[in-house]
Amino acid sequence: MSNNRELLGFIPRDNVISFSLVTMLFLIWGIPNNMNDVLITQFMKSFELTRFQAGLIQSAFYMGYFLFAIPSALVIKRYSYKVGLCLGLLFFAAGCFLFWPAAIVGKYEYFLFALFVIASGLTFLETGANMFIVEMGSSASAERRLNFSQAFNPIGAVLGVLLGTLFIFSGIEHDASKIEAMKITGQYEIYLQEETMRVVMPYLVLGGCAVIWCAILMFLKFPHTRDEFDDSEHKTTFKDLLQYPHFYKGVISQFFYCGAQTCTWSFFITYVQDFTGQPEKVAGYFLTGTLVAFGVGRFSATYLMKFISPSKLMGIYGFINILLVGIGILMPGIIGVWAIFFTSFFMSLMYPTNFALSIRELGRNAKFAGSIMVMAIVGGAIFPPLMGYIAEKSTSMAVAMVVPLIGYAYITYYALYGSKLKQELIAQ
C-alpha cells in the first residue's frame, strides 16, 4: 500500500473505520493492565500481604500472556483477526465477572485466577491487534502506525489508575494502634472485607464494556492484510526465527522492557509513600500523572519518528531512563519520585517500537513471531516479585529500582546495535 493511500502517511485511507475500532482496543486493555497497580496496594491492605506476595498479582496476570500467546496466534491464523479479537474480549469479560464470586469468598487465590483469565483474553487482543495494525498498511510506516495505535493504550492506563484511585481506594488507612483496637472489638475483619468488596464494581463495569465492544466488532468487516497474501500452508518453526538476530534479540529486549515497565508502575505508589509519606490517594494521583506522561510520550514519539529513526530514538530514550532510574536509586525522596515519574515519558515508545523493529522483514514468519513477542510480556510476571523480594531484604524500594535499571541497559543496547538487520535482509 503506497503512502498516497495512507492518511497522515501511515493510516490506510480505505480502512479508517476498522483501523479506528481496533485501535480503541489498545485503550480498552490499558485499563485492566494498570488497575493492577492499584490492586497491589489495595490487596496489601485488605489481605495483609507482603510486597513479595503482592507482586504475585502481576505474576498471575502476565503468566496468562505467556501461556496463551501461541494459542492465540494459532486461532487467529486458523480463523481470522476478527475471531481472535472477539474471543479475547469474551475471555476478558469472563475474568472481570469472576471478581464478584472471588470477593464473596474472600480468597486472594481466587482473585489471582480471575486476573489470569483476564490476561488470557488480553493476550488474544494484543496478539491480534498489534499484528493487524502492523500488517494493514505499508511496511515503511509500520513503526509509526503501531506507535500511534499504542498511544491510546496509556489513555486506558490513566483511566485504569484513576478509576482505581477513585473507586477502589477508600482513603482509610489505619495505624498499628488503631488496627489493634479494631481487632479487640471485632471490627477489623469487617473493615478488611469492605476493602476487598470495593474492587468488584469497577471490574463488573469493565466486563460489560468488553461484551459491548465484542458485539460491535462482530458486525465489522475486516480488510485483508499483507500477511494474509502469503502462503497459508507455510509453517514457521523456532529454528526459522533463529536465522534473524534482530528478532530474537528483540524478544529479549521486550522481555526486559515489560519487566521494567511493570516493576516501575507496580511499586511507584509504594515508592512515593515510602519516601514522601503521602497517603494512598495522593500517591495514586502521582501514578495517574506518570501515565499521562507516558501517553504524551507515545504521541510525541510518533511525530519525532518523522525526523529520527525509531531505533535511534529508542536508544536515546533508553539512555535517559538509565540516568533517571539511577537518580531514583541514589536520591530517594522528592527528587527520586520525580525522576521515576518521568521515566514513563521515555519508556513510552519502547513496546511498539521493539515490536515493529523485531518483526521487520520476516515475511511469512511474522505472525508466529508476533506471538513470541507477546510471550515476552512474561517479563512482567517474573520481575515484580523479584523487585518486591529485593525491597524486603534491603528494606528500601529505592535499592529495588536496580531491576528496571538493568532492563533499560539492555533495551539501549538493542536499540542502537542489536536491532540492525543482517546484510542479506537489507539487500532484499
**Taking the mean position of all CA atoms in its chain, how far away is CA 360?**
22
Q: Label residues 205-226 b or e (16+ Cβ within 10 Å = b).
A: ebbeebeebbeebeeeebeebb
Nearest to 132 by CA among 387, 367, 320: 367
Nearest to 118 by CA among 102, 137, 140, 136: 102
CATH superfamily of 3-221+236-427: MFS general substrate transporter like domains (1.20.1250.20)
Distances (CA, A) of 29 to 35, 76, 210: 10, 18, 9
**Taking the mean position of all CA atoms in its chain, how far away is CA 218?**
25
AA identity, residue 104: I
Q: Return the pLDDT at 1.
A: 39
* Residue 35, φ and ψ in degrees, nearest 5: -70, -20
Q: Return the pLDDT at 73.
A: 84
The span from the CA of 265 to the CA of 37, in Å, is 6
Q: Return the pLDDT at 424.
A: 53
Domains of the chain, residue spans = 3-221+236-427
Q: Return the pLDDT at 240.
A: 76
Kindly report the number of other CB atoms within 10 A of residue 198's CB atom: 16
Rg (CA), the chain: 21
C-alpha atoms less than 13 angstroms from C-alpha of 196 in its C-beta half-sphere:
23
Q: Return the pLDDT at 233.
A: 54
Beta bridge partners of 6: 12
For the chain, 428 residues long, the average pLDDT of each consecutive 10-residue run is: 56 80 91 86 85 83 87 86 94 96 92 94 90 78 80 86 85 79 86 88 95 92 64 63 89 95 91 90 88 88 88 96 97 96 95 88 78 86 90 93 96 94 58
Q: Return the pLDDT at 228.
A: 56
- By CB neighbour count within 10 A (0-12 exposed, 13-18 middle, 19+ buried), where does 28 fall? buried
Q: Return the pLDDT at 101.
A: 95
**C-alpha cell of residue 213:** 465492544
Q: Return the pLDDT at 340.
A: 97
Q: Return the pLDDT at 93.
A: 97
